[in-house]
Chain A
Amino acid sequence: MAEDLVTVTIEGTRISVPKGTTIIEAAKQVGVLIPHYCYHPSLPAPAVCRMCLVEVEKAPKLMPACVTAVAEGQVVLVNSPRAQKARTAVLEFLLINHPLDCPICDQSGECELQDYTFQEGRAATRYSQYSKRYNPVEDFGPDILYVTNRCILCTRCVRFMSDVAQTPLLNVSERGDRAYIGIDPGQQLDHPWSDNVVDLCPVGSLLSKDFLHKARAWDLDKTASICPGCTQGCNITIDTRDEAVVRLRPRPNYEVNRHFMCDHGRLDYRWLNRGDRAEAPLIRQGDRHVAIDWDTALDRMGEVIREAAGPAVLLASGRASTESLGLVRRLLPAEARAAIRVPIVDEEAPLAGVPNLALRRERIPNLHGARLLGYDTDWAGAIEAATTAGLVVLLDPELTPEEEAALATAPGRLVVLTTILQDGLRNAELILPTTTMAEENGTYVNRDHRVQRFLQAKSPPGMARPAWWVAGEVLAGPGPDADAPTSAAEAFDLLGESWPVFAGVTHAALGLSGRVLDVAAPAAGVAR
């Protein structure tokens, strides 16, 4: 549709973009980031910070790039002396009342005020004779503090709550340089999606109590991942410091979660840092378990599976990767029963302003991957079947004490792949240490059948390995010529053999925003 394209020149580079595109978005496409504060691609643009003023040839005034649509033949100058002076001026105005407390500010290192000031702010203040405005810190809600003094009134938080969450719990109060972000004293900022205001805040004004003074931004390692909190599959970044997960933040994906994630998903990460981890393969000797090496463990596992008589049951966690669920499933005969537990909680918590985005009732990330791989969700039935089965394989499921007791006294042979030390299953022939989703590469399939990759964010403890690796090794059999997958990508390639819906899809093709599986295609389905 060439007629809908408009050609403009931005900082000397010509580009054709769809009609209606704003200058700020068009500039991104030629690699020019126009400095801005109030603008955010997932919020309505109020054009109030005036940071994105650019010079448009023939226009008498500087134009706000965030709300000015491109026009045919337009020439945009982002770094002209006029535009630059205007930005330097905005920075100066913002800084006259902004405290220089970067050394104790959580935002330091990822602060847009810091970055742009460094880039083109004045070297010294001209506001030296006056004291800065002072207001105390406000407690906004369960996880949010408002450091009034640092606020630059960009109003992103207010617009998020009113236009995206559609629950206006925040306001701009007062006028002029007395203005601040307000909340009703009788209410709290406790909306299930409210922590997004912390990400949206371009400075350190809105802070997460959970992350408060936990780490400096430059000490964090950032890894692309998928939220394991529910079937929505929000794209996230896992921030780690010294092998500990310290923060989850949303990563933009316009098809899934735009720029947002819910507070439940964001704050439920401590299980990734648990200390009571299974760290070595254990084998049962008499009434106790002893540590062994992986080769021995894998050989033994192959034997157990081959020797077991009677029906087999696989009980898996919905947090397991598609690769692990698939390859472990393949260890067992086609008629084996495989199930995952689906924790169901309350009602959905939708983010009103974004279609098809909610904290889902099913609080596991890979329900739909498991379904495609032939798992059912009749957990009670599967536990029941396990108590009479000849072989039971556990893939890191969370068991209730009753379930554990039932399995501990079941007659069948028991193999446990687990992230957590298991004391109750004294009868397990093997207890094999596996990795959490933060310690491995893999994929989840969300509720729209979008396969999305997550990457390894921290090292596994001890000898823990991904479950797909364990299963892959066992499937390939012993010996130096065995063709076991050596990466999650290779493990994923194997899925297509048994489940055609995955055929032809590769990790490389998924990229970091995933791809929707064609589950309606005739070749799809759960046939093995």
Chain B
Amino acid sequence: MGFPHPSDPRETVVLSQYFGDPGARTYQGWVERGGYQALKKALGMGPEEVINEVKASGLRGRGGAGFPTGLKWSFMPKGDGRPHYLVCNADESEPGTFKDREIMRWTPHALIEGCACGAYAIGAETCYIYIRGEFTEPWTIMSLAVKEAYANGVLGADAMGSGKRIDIVLHRGAGAYICGEETAMLNSLEGRRGNPRVKPPFPAVAGAFAQPTTVNNVETLAAVPHILNRGAAWYQSLCRGNPKSTGTKLFSVCGHVQRPGNYEITLGTPFSELYDMFGGVPEGRTLKAVIPGGSSVPILTADEMMNTVLDYEGVIASGSMLGSAGMIVMDNTTDIVYQVMRLTKFYAHESCAQCTQCREGTGWTSRILQRMLSGQGSEADLDLLLDLADNMTGTTICVLSDSCAAPVVSGIKKFRSEFEAYITRARQPALIAV
């Protein structure tokens, strides 16, 4: 079952099977649906075996970076005698993305099971699930589920009778996009400002509380039980020709579309197929552009998008990135200049204030665009925007600054005439002069 729409036959329903099914939320309901078999199996395997199975599956991080999950787990030191931590990134806040929210809302035990498997694999006794502060409903549901999991012996000092301690602690954020960046999340977890950290050291060496730590996305961890249940070979077989991108992925589709929602499809599916699933843009409109991987990636035009294969490599080949697979769809009524400005405003609001280029550049970029939208821009502003974007790319601790630059650069490159229309006043100002 999909949600909020019935699932499309072209979807490959794995993670989203029980979306919309309140019965799957309870411990009992989850067990009846085959839950916690994978954890039982994992606890009977060696941690190394679990890691190898995940490695073999080809599972890659679903939060945005697409790093191979098994490989990430294998970076954790072994036998070092120090506490290890698993931190589950449930700070989903990339504009256009709302998949982790649905996993937590409908299948909280799937996430708990995945976290427990992951914690076991990396030798962690504690897993913190960092849930963004605005996710009040997922928080409530997850809290109940964790309580149930303890009550039923899934978690605690003797997880499922294995003799292993596995604790899960929910940690609530308080409103900061940047805390979705893994090192910022670790700072926030430690009771600090959510400033991204300089790497190295990487979390596997010194992460939460300076101990070896793995940070995984909700969707990534939720996929692990399925891999353990059905085997790496099965997961790998969920593939449409590109062995580097395997398994299913939840695509959050939003914006100007007929049926917004999450679509779970096998990686490698052409965008055109997904387009049919969500019913395309509203009646009488045409597709103009798509931001395919959450707001931080370059904008693709309709043509580019229609020829894109939806996997990690495919979207790169089209000039963007798969990111978190949050698809922001824009039809022909869209004012690209305004949308680019709105995104830069978002980044200016969310910049943590550490790096100079980001702190000052995001706001400046947004102000130039606002001025342009109010009919006061000049041709030189376009060069300035591109130069600022260049100065903001690849020069800071994290990629928030780059993310602000990406829509500016791709927007001007692909829709330059729209910017020029505001400059020449061929188009009426969209904003009141500031």
Contacts and interface: CB of A to CB of B under 8 A. Distances in A.
Contacts of B359: 93, 153, 176-177, 179
B410 interface: no
B353 A174 contact: yes
B363 interface: yes
Contacts of B371: 129
Nearest to A61: B394
Nearest to A178: B353
A153 B367 CA distance: 21
B353 A179 contact: yes
A94 B356 contact: yes
A127 interface: yes
A175 B351 contact: yes
Interface stretch (A44-52, A450-458, A475-483): A44-52
A53 interface: yes
Contact of A177 (B362, B391, B395): B362
B360 interface: yes
A46 B348 contact: no
A64 B391 CA distance: 15
Nearest to B400: A176
Contacts of A49: 355-356
Interface string A88-100: 0110111011000
Interface string A56-100: 000011101001000000000000000001100110111011000
A50 B355 contact: yes
A32 B391 CA distance: 24
Contact of B351 (A51, A85, A94, A176): A176
A60 B394 CA distance: 9
A97 B193 CA distance: 23
Contacts of A50: 355-357, 395-396
A127 B388 CA distance: 11
Nearest to B362: A176
Interface in B229-273: none
B198 A46 contact: yes
Nearest to B391: A89
A61 B393 CA distance: 10
A270 interface: no
A295 B349 CA distance: 77
The SS class assigned to the A binding surface is loop
A274 interface: no
A64 B397 CA distance: 9
Contacts of A175: 176, 349-353
A126 B368 CA distance: 11
Q: Which of A46, A62, A85, A177 counts the most B-chain CB atoms under 10 A from its CB?
A: A177
B195 to A, nearest CB: 8
B350 A48 contact: no
B140 interface: no
A479 to B, nearest CB: 69
Nearest to A91: B356
Interface residues of A, number: 34
Contacts of A53: 395
A50 B176 CA distance: 23
Nearest to A155: B354
B45 interface: no
A151 to B, nearest CB: 11
A172 interface: yes
A130 interface: yes
A48 B355 contact: yes
A48 B356 contact: yes
A340 B360 CA distance: 58
Interface in A26-62: 46-51, 53, 60-62
B64 interface: no
Contacts of A90: 356-357
A86 to B, nearest CB: 6
B126 to A, nearest CB: 26
A234 B79 CA distance: 46
A49 B359 CA distance: 10
A175 B193 CA distance: 10
A238 interface: no
A48 B360 contact: no
Contact of A127 (B193, B353, B364, B396): B364
A152 B356 contact: yes
Interface string B382-394: 0010000001001
Contacts of B384: 126
A53 B401 CA distance: 16
Contacts of B356: 48-51, 90, 93-94, 152-153
A5 to B, nearest CB: 21
B391 A86 contact: yes
A47 B397 contact: yes
B298 interface: no
B280 interface: no
Interface in A400-417: none
Interface in A110-135: 126-127, 129-130
B360 to A, nearest CB: 4
Given A47-B198, A50-B396, A86-B395, A94 B360 contact: yes
Contacts of B357: 50, 89-90, 93
B63 interface: no
Interface in A175-203: 175-179
B355 to A, nearest CB: 5
Contact of B353 (A60, A64, A126, A172): A172
A64 B398 CA distance: 13
B138 interface: no
A97 B360 contact: yes
B361 interface: yes
Contacts of A152: 356
A67 B198 contact: yes
Contacts of A61: 394-395
Nearest to A171: B193
A387 to B, nearest CB: 64
Interface string B330-364: 00000000000000000011111111110111111
A176 B391 contact: no
A44 to B, nearest CB: 10
A460 to B, nearest CB: 48
Contacts of A127: 364
A51 B396 CA distance: 10
B199 to A, nearest CB: 10
A85 B354 contact: no
B391 A96 contact: no
A172 B193 contact: yes
A460 B391 CA distance: 55
Contact of A93 (B193, B349, B361, B397): B361
Nearest to B177: A175
A127 B360 CA distance: 11
Nearest to B358: A176
Contacts of B352: 175-176
A153 B352 CA distance: 12
B212 to A, nearest CB: 21
Contacts of A176: 348-353, 359, 362-363
A48 B351 CA distance: 13
Contacts of B394: 60-62
Given A94-B360, A96-B360, A127-B364, A177 B353 contact: yes
Interface string B191-202: 001000010000
A300 B176 CA distance: 81
Nearest to A94: B356
A263 B396 CA distance: 36
16 contacts: A46-B198, A46-B354, A48-B397, A49-B356, A50-B355, A50-B395, A51-B356, A86-B391, A86-B395, A93-B356, A93-B360, A94-B356, A126-B384, A130-B364, A176-B351, A177-B359
Given A61-B395, A175-B350, 6 more contacts: A49-B355, A62-B394, A90-B356, A90-B357, A177-B362, A179-B359
Q: Top 3 closest A-B pairs, CB basis?
A: A179-B353, A89-B391, A93-B360
Interface of A: 46-51, 53, 60-62, 64, 67, 85-86, 89-90, 92-94, 96-97, 126-127, 129-130, 152-153, 172, 174-179
